[in-house]
């Protein structure tokens, strides 16, 4: 398997994203949900967010999901399609509703942050291998998934297991762990997520997330030791930065490596045995510090980071630049309200990603930075924090 799936096959798009998207209601002012008088409607969903950002960045993207045959479902399909995302394979469910949620304006890492989900029994929870177009899902250079989908229902988990199973010719499987303890109906969640991650080619996980889900401490290298199978592992370290581990050039990704010479799939490491055999050789690691950002809201920043990294991956940029594009796209989300923010123009992002280490380290970005004149030099944007 190459860095991404086939480029020139008929009907192949750059990225296919599978998952639940919901209508989100954003507060008109700060405060408790009980005190907020009104809300503005938006859209939110980890996987569809990635598809929207990638489409806005100039890639071809498809979102596959399931929504109710209701007004909220209409809004989601129209809004996501408005970003240029292909929504022709979204199924409509006449019996189940579209999920919605309300949230406060505070940082989700604080105790003051509140989210009220109304997604139990949603249309998306009825997804299964038999209920989606598997060919449409696999018709991308990259197939982006997340652990949120696995938590929605047994059918959704079966679907993710089908898509992460080893098979010849599959697209590059991107998997964002997205551990959400409140979504799981039992204690199997961490083991399931570890097993799914082992079947992916590219995995995104937060350092704090790995500790919460799997009890792994000691930094990114310890996480890589517990998760050696993916060709690329990105460990996010919040405001500090991110580390990318990649197997040496020429080694195969997890999915390809688990298909025997006779084409017979070989079983991945089991989640019931969370200490797999060590990788045959140490994987090179690349660390890239995060940017200094004047934060407006944190929601959607992780999805934006994944989109930026995937965009650079599709362009076959060096690992350092993939991380920098992840940071830049996350900065666009951090400096705007809502779950979705327009990414910087490609030339603008490329210019910033090419800064030397000193200039990158002093760059500070605030609201509106993505609209900066492309012809302004870095000195117009950078200042010492």
R_g over Cα of the chain = 20
Contact 170, 5 (CB under 8 A): yes
Q: Are strands 115-118 and 232-236 parallel, antiparallel or unpaired?
A: unpaired
> What are the two backbone dihedrals, phi and then psi, of residue 207, each rounded to the nearest 5 degrees?
-60, -45
CB 336 within 8 A of CB 300: no
For residue 370, CA distances in Å to 239, 341, 361, 366 come to: 20, 10, 18, 9
Q: Which of 195, 303, 321, 350 is catalytic?
A: 303
CB 21 within 8 A of CB 85: no
Residues facing residue 16 across a β-bridge: 62, 143
Find the angle CA(348)-CA(351)-CA(355) to the nearest 5 degrees. 140
Q: Which residues pair with 101 in a beta bridge?
A: 24, 117
Q: How far is CA 365 from the centre of its chain?
A: 22
Burial of 128 (0-12, 13-18, 19+ CB in 10 A): middle
For 186, other C-beta atoms within 10 Å of its C-beta total 6
Active site residue 303: yes
Are 178 and 19 in contact by the 8 Å Cβ rule? The answer is no
CA atoms within 13 A on the CB side of 170: 27
Distance CA(127)–CA(116), nearest Å, equals 22
Tell me which residues are annotated as active site.
Answer: 303
């Amino acid at each position: 398997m190459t860095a991404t799936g086939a480029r020139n096959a008929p009907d192949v798009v750059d990225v296919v994203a599978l998952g639940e998207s919901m209508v989100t209601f954003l507060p008109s002012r700060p405060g408790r949900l009980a005190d907020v008088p009104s809300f503005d409607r938006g859209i939110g969903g980890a996987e569809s967010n990635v598809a929207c950002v990638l489409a806005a960045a100039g890639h071809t993207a498809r979102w596959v999901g399931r929504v109710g045959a209701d007004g909220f479902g209409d809004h989601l399909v129209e809004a996501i399609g408005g970003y240029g995302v292909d929504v022709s394979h979204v199924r409509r469910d006449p019996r189940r509703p579209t999920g919605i949620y309300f949230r406060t304006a505070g940082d989700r890492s604080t105790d003051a942050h509140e989210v009220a989900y109304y997604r139990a029994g949603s249309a998306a929870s009825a997804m299964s291998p038999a209920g989606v177009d598997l060919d449409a899902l696999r018709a991308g250079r990259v197939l982006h998934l997340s652990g949120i989908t696995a938590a929605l229902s047994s059918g959704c988990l079966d679907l993710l297991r089908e898509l992460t199973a080893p098979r010849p010719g599959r697209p590059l499987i991107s998997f964002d762990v997205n551990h959400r303890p409140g979504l799981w109906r039992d204690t199997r969640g961490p083991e399931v997520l570890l097993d799914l991650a082992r079947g992916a080619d590219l995995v995104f996980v937060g350092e704090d997330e790995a500790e919460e889900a799997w009890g792994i401490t000691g930094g990114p290298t310890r996480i890589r030791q517990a998760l050696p199978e993916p060709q690329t592992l990105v460990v996010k370290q919040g405001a500090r930065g991110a580390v990318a581990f990649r197997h040496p050039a020429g080694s195969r990704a997890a999915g390809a490596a688990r298909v025997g010479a006779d084409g017979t799939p070989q079983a991945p490491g089991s989640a019931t045995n969370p200490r797999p055999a060590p990788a045959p050789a140490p994987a090179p690691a690349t660390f890239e510090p995060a940017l200094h950002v004047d934060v407006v809201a944190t929601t959607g920043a992780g999805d934006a980071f994944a989109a930026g990294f995937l965009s650079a991956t599709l362009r076959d940029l060096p690992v350092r630049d993939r991380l920098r594009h992840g940071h830049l796209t996350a900065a666009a989300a951090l400096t705007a309200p809502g779950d979705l923010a327009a990414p910087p123009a490609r030339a603008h992002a490329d210019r910033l990603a090419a800064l030397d280490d000193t200039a990158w380290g002093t760059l500070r970005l605030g609201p509106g930075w993505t609209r900066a004149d492309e012809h302004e030099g870095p000195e117009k944007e950078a200042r010492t924090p």
